[in-house]
């Protein structure tokens, strides 16, 4: 029997709201920035948050940091600090705070082709927000796969008992995965593109000061 709590999340479909606020090409605008400004980062899973199992493996990933988002997509930065923060508080049932450091408050996580994915890890912040920009499923890959068992500490262990979130355009998801290892599966097409907006929120009990000192460098943000 699995003694740990199953992974839970809250979701909001904001596709219509974003279309009304910014026009139907808001997602295309984010993807354009992702393709033009992404920083490719080989991740060696040795952070305190890494749960890959093989500490010598190399995972190919790509990011756009929050400073670039603030400059190039100011509307997205404003939503992170206003409407999205309000929804994060509603979903978590607690007062949340946005990151003071704009570098990692809101980022773009990007995968292109078959060789990239997001490493197996746990979060350091108590409320994680993910706004999905591109849609994915079990056929195309790019699903968020999260362990129900809090003891899972590798991709193989996560897959033994996992919750799966399929990205949909405009879907905003909130969760606490500090104890639940999770990763994003590889895409199945050579020309595939996956873009998601990652947002960090903090609480009084788990403030921004608890963010691991090595994490920004580990993720290619610094």
User: 145 in a domain, yes or no?
Assistant: yes
218 located within any domain: no
Summarised one tens digit per residue, pLDDT across range 19-64 is 999 999 999 999 999 999 999 999 999 999 999 999 999 999 999 9
Number of domains in the chain: 1
Q: Is residue 158 part of a domain?
A: yes
Look at 52 and 2; give whichever has higher pLDDT.
52
Residue 101: inside a domain: yes
Judge whether 222 lies within some domain.
no
Band (pLDDT 50/70/90 cuts) for residue 1 is very low
CATH number, residue 56: 2.60.120.620
Computed over every residue of the chain, the mean pLDDT equals 96
Region 127-156: mean pLDDT is 97
Model's pTM, two decimal places? 0.97
Domain membership of residue 2 (yes or no) is no
* Angle (nearest 5°) at CA 152 between 5 and 112: 110
Structure tokens at 200: 């960090």
Contacts of 73 (CB under 8 A, 6+ apart): 29, 30, 33
Residue 178, token pair as written in the block:
């500090």
Which structural domain range is residue 67 located in?
9-203
| Mean pLDDT of the 131-152 span | 97
Model confidence at 3: pLDDT above 80 = no
> Alpha helices, DSSP H only, in 2-96?
15-22, 26-37, 66-72, 74-81, 83-92
Please report whether residue 71 resides in a domain. Answer: yes
Decide if 214 is inside a domain: no
| Mean pLDDT, range 68-92, rounded to an integer | 98
What's residue 5's pLDDT? 82
């Amino acid at each position: 029997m699995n003694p740990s709590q199953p992974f839970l999340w809250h979701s909001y479909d904001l596709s219509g709201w974003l279309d009304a606020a910014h026009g139907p090409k808001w997602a295309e605008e984010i993807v354009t920035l992702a393709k033009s400004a992404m920083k490719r980062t080989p991740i060696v899973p040795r952070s305190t948050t890494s749960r890959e199992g093989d500490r010598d493996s190399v995972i190919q990933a790509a990011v756009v940091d929050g400073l670039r988002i603030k400059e190039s997509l100011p509307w997205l930065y404003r939503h992170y600090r206003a409407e999205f923060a309000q929804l994060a508080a509603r979903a978590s049932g607690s007062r949340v705070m946005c990151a003071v450091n704009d570098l990692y408050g809101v980022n773009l996580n990007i995968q292109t082709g078959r060789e990239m994915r997001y490493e197996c890890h746990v979060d350091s912040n108590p409320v994680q927000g993910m706004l999905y920009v591109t849609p994915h499923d079990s056929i195309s890959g790019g699903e968020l796969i999260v362990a129900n068992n809090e003891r899972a500490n590798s991709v193989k262990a996560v897959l033994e008992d996992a919750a799966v979130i399929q990205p949909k355009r405009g879907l905003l998801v909130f969760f606490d995965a500090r104890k639940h290892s999770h990763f994003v599966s590889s895409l199945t097409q050579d020309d595939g593109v996956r873009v998601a907006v990652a947002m960090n929120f903090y609480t009084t009990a788990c403030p921004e000061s608890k963010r691991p000192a090595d994490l920004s460098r580990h993720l290619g943000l610094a």
